Amino acid sequence: MDFFQALDHFLHYLQMAKGVSQHTLRAYRLDLTAFGSFSLRECALEPPNQILFFSHISKRIIRRYLACLYEKQAKTGTVLRHISALRSFYRYALREKWTQDNPMDEIDSPKKEKKLPVSLDYAQVQNLFAQPDISTYLGFRDRAIMELFYSSGLRLSELAGLNRRDFDARHRILYIFGKGKKQRQTPITQTAATWLTDYLQHPERHREADGHKPEVDRQAIFLNKWGKRLTPRSIDRNFSLYLKASGLSERITPHTIRHTIATHWLENGMDLKTIQLLLGHTSLATTTIYTHVSPKLKRAVYDKTHPRA
């Protein structure tokens, strides 16, 4: 089968059978299409014979492709993502009997340098949260977003995807559909619940600005100024503006708030298993990294265990 036809089948399989997110699906499509286009050039295939079969692709082509990624200054994480996509694709191709060989078996993965997540202290959190102008509708919305981030530890995509039915105001519970469409329940603070409730009742949220404005999205919680669901990219862009105004490091992202609340939970005595469940981590090992982040926790462990502390 033609490589690009096989790719379409593979992406359909990932979406329908595996339930991968649109973000992951887009990454697979971009990475594997880039590899296919590179292979066409390497094989010197031109119209009308521009059909790329698996038999055309050798280990040399794959290694050359990865080398080109490095030549373009791609980060190790990016290279690993491309390798992972190719491995998954070839496993599927073997299962479908589109190829009898898997050149990825002889491709080694580079070791990724593990970077500890960045987190904020409480004073920095307060500084960041003070930036939105809550006298305006959009500023009020953005403050509600920040409060919800810090209260729940949601991923950016999870927060953007929230619908009104996912919020149980009475019990202060969010029903989250996370990675792999796994559902979990996340409690939130009274403060966050109040901000969210007040935002949902804000008169500007339901007002159509003019006759050209489409009908307001009745399902989504967080809306843009046109009444449509706020996208992860828009949330990230707004966050960057508040970040700049606060004077905090440019390394801070919405995901930093997730790292921050996980670190604060740990510092205040919450056990790792509970944090794992709240964050929606599949593996406890992922959650354990926060034990290496907190200076406060390191000092407490040191003082407790060192014989002369």
The CATH number of residue 65's host domain is 1.10.150.130
Give yes or no: residues 93 and 162 share one domain.
no
Examine the domain organization and report whether 193 and 291 are in the same domain.
yes
What's the token pair of residue 18?
Answer: 């595996």
pLDDT band at residue 46 using 50, 70 and 90 as cut-offs: low
- Counting residues of the chain whose pLDDT is more than 90, the rounded percentage is 44
Q: Are 157 and 148 within 8 A, CB to CB?
A: no
Indicate whether 305 pLDDT > 60: no
pLDDT of residue 130 exceeding 90: yes
Cis peptide bond N-terminal to 110, omega within 30: no
Q: How far apart are CA 64 and CA 53, in angstroms?
A: 18
pLDDT at 132 over 80: yes
pLDDT range class, residue 169, cuts 50, 70, 90? very high
Q: What is the pLDDT of residue 210?
A: 45
Residues 218, 172 share a domain: yes
- Report if residue 281 sits inside a domain: yes
111 occurs within a structural domain: no
Give the pLDDT band of residue 296 (cuts 50, 70, 90): low
Q: Do 205 and 277 fall into the same domain?
A: yes
Element (H, E) at 187: strand 183-187
Q: What is the CA radius of gyration of the chain?
A: 24
- Whether 117 is in a domain gets the answer no
Question: Domain for residue 12, yes or no?
Answer: yes
Query: Which residues on neighbouring strands pair with residue 175, listed in sequence order?
Result: 185
Residues 83 and 132 grouped into a single domain = no
Domain identity same for 247 and 194: yes
Q: What is the number of structural domains in the chain?
A: 2
Whether pLDDT at 185 is above 50: yes
Given this model, what pLDDT does residue 209 score?
45
DSSP state of 176: E
Catalytic residue numbers read: 155, 179, 255, 258, 281, 290
28-37, 85-94, 258-267: segment of lowest average pLDDT: 258-267
**Rounded Cα distance, 238 and 232, in Å:** 10
Domain that holds residue 41: 3-106
Same domain membership, residue 205 and residue 170: yes
Same domain, 152 and 254: yes
Mean pLDDT, the chain, whole residue set: 85
Last residue of a domain, one of 75, 106, 137: 106
Residues 47 and 17 in one domain: yes
pLDDT of residue 170: 93
Asked whether the predicted pLDDT for residue 301 surpasses 60, the reply is no
Nearest to 116 by CA among 251, 267, 284, 270: 251
Burial class, 246, CB count within 10 angstroms (exposed 0-12 / middle 13-18 / buried 19+): middle
- Examine the domain organization and report whether 132 and 265 are in the same domain: yes
Of 105-119, 155-169, 279-293, which one has max mean pLDDT?
155-169
297 with 271, same domain: the answer is yes
**Claim to verify: residue 39 and residue 149 sit in the same structural domain:** no
Taking residue 232's Cβ as centre, other Cβ atoms within 10 Å add up to: 16
Give the mean model confidence (pLDDT) for residues 165-176: 94
Q: What pLDDT digit, counting tens, does each position of 222-279 carry?
A: 999 888 999 999 999 999 999 889 988 767 888 888 888 888 888 888 888 888 888 8
Q: Domain end: 78, 106, 134, which one?
A: 106
pLDDT of residue 52 exceeding 70, the answer is yes
| pTM of the predicted structure, to 2 decimals | 0.62
